[in-house]
Amino acid sequence: MNAKYALALILTLQVSMCLGEIPAPSQEVVNTYNTLKSTFYSRLLNAYKKLQAVIEPTLEKLAESNRGQATRDYIEEVQQKPEFKAFVKIASGLGTEAAPLVDKARTSLLGLYEYYVRPHFGKYVQDSIAAAKVHLDRVLPVE
């Protein structure tokens, strides 16, 4: 019985040690990821600008009404509260502290993708991204 536990422990340690070494992604994968990320952000920014242009006249009409003025006053009042200022300060501090962790996680995930997923499913992922780009160019263009 002890031999079974010892074998199970050895196999568990071996698996955990294998998972501990995450390969670093190649520069090609990092460049591809950065290109896709910047394109996606450009699409979002373009959509935001279009949405803002459509909604702006409505917001101007709303700002002229009594409700709009009351809402604006309430928002300004909330922004002046020390609790809100403390929340903003904590949230920005957490964002600053979390940035290195996010970069490390992103690098690890790209390495795992390149080493384990890309050899088997890389062609399918690439084809799916190309197909999604065609639809996104119609619905949410970059420019």
Q: Which domain holds residue 72?
A: 2-139
Contact at 8 Å (CB) between 97 and 91?
Answer: no
Greatest mean pLDDT range, 87-96, 97-106, 118-127: 118-127
Give the rounded distance of the alpha carbon of 139 from its chain centre.
21
Model pLDDT, residue 16: 63
**What's the domain count of the chain?**
1
Model pLDDT, residue 120: 92
Nearest Cα neighbor of 118 from 37, 16, 33 is 33
Contact at 8 Å (CB) between 43 and 141?
Answer: yes
pLDDT per position as a tens digit, 107-136: 988 998 998 889 999 899 999 999 999 998
Give the DSSP letter of residue 78: H
